[in-house]
Structure 1
Amino acid sequence: MSDDRMNATVTYGLLAAWALHDLEELATGPRWIRRNVPLLRKRFPQVPERVWRAVESVDQREFTAAVGVMAAIVGAAAVAGHRTGGRSAFYQGAVDGFGLHGLVHIAQAAAVRGYTPGSVTSPLIVVPFALWARGRLRRGGVLRPARARNAAAGLAVAAGATAVAHLVGRRISGTR
């Protein structure tokens, strides 16, 4: 595979893998939340009530708008990766955050002992893509060393980007 083809597949592949994953979340998220939060509230009473109220307040319009905002963030990371031949710290952090967030989805499904939005595509697309992309970047000599603090930062950035996406999504959708 040529370097340009590999670069485009690895870098824009992030956006493609993310889109497939978020299609699952779009199709199932808000409906799953409405149906399952009452059960989860009882099962996990240690979770603060304000968290449950925040989760329940997300409707389909807000969720869809938030996915659109996240698409812009992931798209920007993919472009940065492509423009730098995969060297961009933003791109590599996005790949790491994406893969780690897939592990969070798998852990969520294990915690509830069943399906959660994103738990099907996480082991089939998210985690394998992140591992594959990291391998390609490593073989290309551009992968930054993996450190525990980078993993923590990747998860924090993914969580922060999700929060920002929902805040902007709430504004765009006009939900309260």
Structure 2
Amino acid sequence: MIEFLNDHINLVSLLWLFPITFMFHDFEEIITIEKWIKRHGEHVKSSVPRFAQKLYNSSFRMNTLHFAKDVLWVYSLIVTVTVLAVFFQFYLPFLATLHVYFFHVFTHAGQSIFLRKYTPGVITAVLPVLPYSLYAYYRLFSDGVVTSQDLTWSLILMVILLPVALTLLIKGRKGYLTS
């Protein structure tokens, strides 16, 4: 299977599969989020610790349009880091964003396990996000595009920038969510 993929997916195609798989994943979330929040939001709020309730408060007030706006910002970031990788061979931002994407699989799986129910995005987190992420890591390393040092620096970049990005995303919601 790996040989087949290696023979039929060149590096540029692999990189552009990132925004494509992201949109498949987020279409599942966009389609299901509003109804799911209306049906399960109160149960979820009562199931999580107070600090998490406050942290995710804006998420519980979102509708499909609000969520789609968040997706647009994240998608724009993913396309930007993909452009940097494809056209300028600058892979650190791509790799840092790929880490978030990969770890996001476990966020979805963890939510579903914790709540013991379907959560928006869990199906496409397992397929296609997880296989794409694993294969992307494999190819980037096996093709010599990135090194273990790149992995370390991109993890550091992710740890530094992820809290900033999440804070900006949540603060940005204040423009369209009211208390």
Q: TM-score range by the shorter chain?
A: 0.7 to 0.9
Q: Percent identity?
A: 19
Q: In 2, distance between residues paired with 1:52 and 1:91?
A: 26
1:78–1:91 contact (8 Å) kept in structure 2: yes
1:97–1:157 contact (8 Å) kept in structure 2: no
Using a 3 Å threshold, how does the CA distance of structure 1 residues 155 and 10 change in structure 2: closer, same or farther?
A: farther
What are the within-5 Å matches in structure 2 for residues 61-140 of structure 1? 61-85=65-89, 87-140=90-143
> Displacement of 1:96 after TM fit?
1.5
2:93–2:154 contact (8 Å) kept in structure 1: no
User: Is residue 33 of structure 2 the alignment partner of residue 23 of structure 1?
Assistant: no
Count of residues in correspondence between the two structures: 171
Q: In 2, distance between residues paired with 1:116 and 1:150?
A: 29
Decide which moves more: 35-44 or 131-140.
35-44
TM-score normalised over the length of structure 2? 0.80
1:26–1:63 contact (8 Å) kept in structure 2: yes
Q: In 2, distance between residues paired with 1:122 and 1:54?
A: 22
| Residue from 138, 159, 177 that aligns with 1:175 | 177
Q: In 1, distance between residues paired with 2:85 and 2:38?
A: 37
Opposite residue 141 of structure 2, the aligned amino acid is: R
TM-score normalised over the length of structure 1? 0.81
Q: In 2, distance between residues paired with 1:59 and 1:156?
A: 29
User: Is residue 57 of structure 2 the alignment partner of residue 53 of structure 1?
Assistant: yes
- 5+ residue gaps, structure 2, are none
Q: In 2, distance between residues paired with 1:26 and 1:175?
A: 17
- 5+ residue gaps, structure 1, are none
1:41–1:47 contact (8 Å) kept in structure 2: no
1:101–1:155 contact (8 Å) kept in structure 2: no
